[in-house]
Amino acid sequence: MAFAPRLIVPVSQHIGAPAVPVVKAGQEVVRGQLIAEADGFFSVPVHAPATGIVEAIDLMHSAAGPKVLSIVIKVYEAASQQVLESYPVDPMQLDRDELIKRVQNSGLAGLGGAAFPSHVKLQVPEEKQAEVLVVNGCECEPYLTCDHRVMLEQPENLLQGVRYALRITGAKRAIIGIEDNKADAARLLREKLTDNDPISVELVETKYPQGAEKMLLKSLLGLEVPVGGLPIDVGVVVNNVGTLAQLGRLLPSGEGLTERVITVSGSGMEKAGNYLVPIGTPVSFILEQVGVEAEYEEVIMGGPMMGMSIASLEVPVTKGTSGVLVFRERRFIEEQGERGTRFPCIKCGRCVDACPMRLNPAQMVWLAEKREYTAMQEKFNLNSCFECGCCSFVCPSNIPLVQYFRIAKSINNENRKATA
């Protein structure tokens, strides 16, 4: 996709400490140049997504709601947009610590949606051993197809990234898990594999939330990550295909992350599809480019189950943005009848059936209504909920279950902070 005239690049596009700007307003930047550096190990730097001039460093809209510190770049239209800053190396010659430093320098954060700093994920703690690297080729959510396209269009980058990740983590083998409705991607990747690669491609059932790492591990390896644990606790490191495809490209070239693939979809759209979009592109520009009818009512960043509906079209695409969806309210009404009339819980048990973490959402809602948020955690493992939204989706009484859980979790967090 073309460069928008103005790019808005937040300094915090990942989970962890925000990056610190190293440019000033009025300064010219070249595409790929470091514009904000990592603040400690649990942070990733930000690179200029385009050649231009820094217009301002100011608080700007974000998808989540609050305004965040962002570097606004006015793009030079005539510029060649060549990436000038790069430090080419052969990753296979470097040791792990050097590689992890380079992953951090590339500004890579999980492109699946959570935007967890990739170098942190790839660093296996000293006392633990990674046996298997699982490559997540399952779409995070319905509507999104960006992972599929990445696998089809950048198989070489992806496999290269998997090889680097194997070297960094020390895992003995890698499994690329792909949903069975994307057999073409699996076929292509299998063809591209060499005999020496300890990499296999496996199909799993197409089912939301298969792309959640705990679900994928269960499907592929039959492993259950312990409550409150991470995949490394069962000897596994999980990475998304989009992330590893970028890793395969950025690590040898030594460039920074400046763009990503996103799915643009929804109703009334002329050119829905997957686009390679510079980080910082405002949603309004994307919608102009794909040609959206004027009559839409909800714009979502991410997927329909976990994404955020945005209040301003000036919200930019960040490293964690997997898609931009546009919905018309009318379409919702046709599909859903009277949306939102709430009925009492009839204990049908559908949420219990639907919960991939085998929680008891119904019981937790009864507690949430009484504001017994600590009991929700202590007795019912509230924090195991990863907010997939299945419970709210199936509830015939239109009870906003996952919404209750989000509130309960954040209140518990605040209380913990207050007492700590």
Residues making contact with another protein (CB under 8 A): 142, 214, 218, 224-229, 294-300, 302, 304-311, 313, 325, 327, 329, 335-339, 341, 343-349, 352, 355-360, 362-363, 378-381, 384, 387, 389, 392-394, 396-398, 400, 402-403, 406
Question: Nearer to another protein by C-beta: 195 or 335?
Answer: 335
Best CA proximity match to 47, nearest among 74, 79, 73, 68:
73
Q: Position 104: which residue type?
A: Q
CA distances from 412 to 16, 120, 378, 386, 408 (A): 20, 26, 11, 15, 6
Rounded least distance, CB 332 to another protein, Å: 8
Question: Nearer to another protein by C-beta: 245 or 287?
Answer: 287
Question: Nearer to another protein by C-beta: 300 or 317?
Answer: 300
Rounded least distance, CB 375 to another protein, Å: 11
Rounded least distance, CB 371 to another protein, Å: 19
Question: Is the alpha carbon torsion for 238, 212, 310, 62 positive or negative?
Answer: negative
Rounded least distance, CB 236 to another protein, Å: 13
Find the Cα–Cα–Cα–Cα dihedral 115, 120, 125, 130, rounded to 10°.
Answer: 60
Question: Nearer to another protein by C-beta: 198 or 400?
Answer: 400
Question: Nearer to another protein by C-beta: 20 or 394?
Answer: 394
Rounded least distance, CB 83 to another protein, Å: 35
Q: How far apart are CA 12 and CA 40, in angstroms?
A: 13
Rounded least distance, CB 230 to another protein, Å: 11
Question: Nearer to another protein by C-beta: 202 or 298?
Answer: 298
- End-to-end CA, the chain: 47
Question: Nearer to another protein by C-beta: 150 or 272?
Answer: 272
| Residue-level length of the chain | 420
Question: Nearer to another protein by C-beta: 191 or 335?
Answer: 335
Rounded least distance, CB 67 to another protein, Å: 16
Rounded least distance, CB 272 to another protein, Å: 17
* Helices 373-380/401-419 angle, 10° precision: 100
